[in-house]
Amino acid sequence: MAEFIAYLIAGIATGAIYALAAIGFTLVWQTSQTINFAQGEFVMLPAVLVLLAIKLLGAPIWLGALIGIAAFILIFGVGFKLAVVDPMIRHGVLPLAIATMALSIIMKEGAKDGFSAEAQNFPSFVPTQTIEVFGAAISLQHIAIIACAFAVIGLLQWFVGGTKLGRQMQATAQNPMVARILGIPVERMVLLTFVINAALAIVASVLISPIYLAKFSNGEVIGLFAFIAAIVGGFNQVRGALVGGLVVGIVDSMAAAYISTQYRLAVPLVLLVVIILLKPEGLMGRKEERRV
């Protein structure tokens, strides 16, 4: 039992990170009907920028974090929307999807050349100790990841469903034309969505980098699993991304424990295939119909 709890907590912690990244997929999907293939790199880069600010400016951690986070939101929240999404979306969703693939490569190679090809330590804001829960040693870092991720997702859910601004965002996502007629500043709402996506990526980056270490290639794994999580949970629902992230994280952990460490990567992919075959809209997703 203790063993099962340990695997479960580890899986939930990993899944919570996937969920944060997967929510980014759903937000971008809802506002621009496209897939941001640079989502993994969005999670990789904030940690790198923070370390870069510390290294280049000789700044203390807190200042480096502030500078790195501000730079990320400016460049990859506001800048991403203005420089990539706005010019490309006029030409359809496919050019935009391809542009995000290019962006992913640029972010990765930029981090490699501008920072380091090697992994670097990233400071943890929680001690690396364990506590015992039902006989299982549970890492405080895992508990912090789960608590922070759920708090942020809860806050997002409250913001989207419980505030006027959030409801305007939802209305924009559901039907931009009608939203515009109703007087909602659609452009501003779309921009807000991208800023929120950047903020979620920062939270995921800060939570995971002390464990994964900060490295330019981290986005590959995170992006892939978050993408799977978004599909499993439902690409058009924030709560779907949450459920998908947790399911993928737990399945990955349990697969390593009870099936095979060698084939653990294959198990979430099998899950993805099963979901696509049986419930293509995802576990929590909403069926969408389009006229072509």
Partner 1 sequence: MKTQWIIAAALSAGITLPALAQDKVKLVDVVELSGAGATAGTNWKNGIDLAVADINAKGGILGKQIEIVHYDTQTNPGNTRAAVQRAIDEGTYAVLGPVFSGPIGASMQIAQRAEIAQLVGGEAAGLTKQGNQYLFRTSLSQAAAMPKIAKYLKDTVKAGSVAVVWVNNDFGKGGRDAIIPELEKAGIKVAADVATEQGQADFAADAIKIKNSNADAVFVYLNEEESARFLRAAKQQGITKPMVGETTLLGAKVIELAGEAANGVKGHVGLSIDAPIPAFQEFGKKFQAKYNYASDHNGLKGYMAVYMIKWATEKQKKFDKKGVADTLRGATIKPSDEPGILIETTIEQNGDLDRESFLAEVINGKQVINATLPKIKP
Q: Which of 25, 51, 72, 142 binds partner 1 (CB under 8 A)?
A: 142
Residues 156 to 215 in contact with partner 1, rule: CB under 8 A: 211-213, 215
Q: Shortest Cβ distance from residue 245 to partner 1 (Å)?
A: 14
Q: Is 32 in the site for partner 1 (CB under 8 A)?
A: no
Residues whose CB is less than 8 angstroms from the CB of residue 99 and which lie 6 or more positions away in sequence, other chains included: 84, 88
Q: Which of 74, 106, 137, 274 binds partner 1 (CB under 8 A)?
A: 137
d(CA 63, CA 68): 8
Q: Is 104 in the site for partner 1 (CB under 8 A)?
A: no
Contact 205, 46 (CB under 8 A): yes
d(CA 243, CA 202): 20
Residues 241 to 260 in contact with partner 1, rule: CB under 8 A: 252-253, 256-257, 260
Tokens coding 211: 């464990």
Region of 3-11, 61-69, 85-93, 184-192 interacting with partner 1 (CB under 8 A):
3-11
Q: Is 261 in the site for partner 1 (CB under 8 A)?
A: yes
Contact 222, 211 (CB under 8 A): no
Q: Return the closest-CA partner of residue 229 out of 5, 21, 8, 10.
A: 21
Q: Is 10 in the site for partner 1 (CB under 8 A)?
A: yes
Tokens coding 55: 């290294």
Phi and psi torsions of 235, nearest 5°: -70, -20
Q: Shortest Cβ distance from residue 108 to partner 1 (Å)?
A: 10
Phi and psi torsions of 242, nearest 5°: -65, -50
Q: Shortest Cβ distance from residue 129 to partner 1 (Å)?
A: 8
- The site for partner 1 (CB under 8 A) is made up of 3, 6-7, 10-11, 13-14, 112, 117-121, 128, 130, 137, 139, 141-142, 211-213, 215-218, 220-221, 252-253, 256-257, 260-262, 264-265
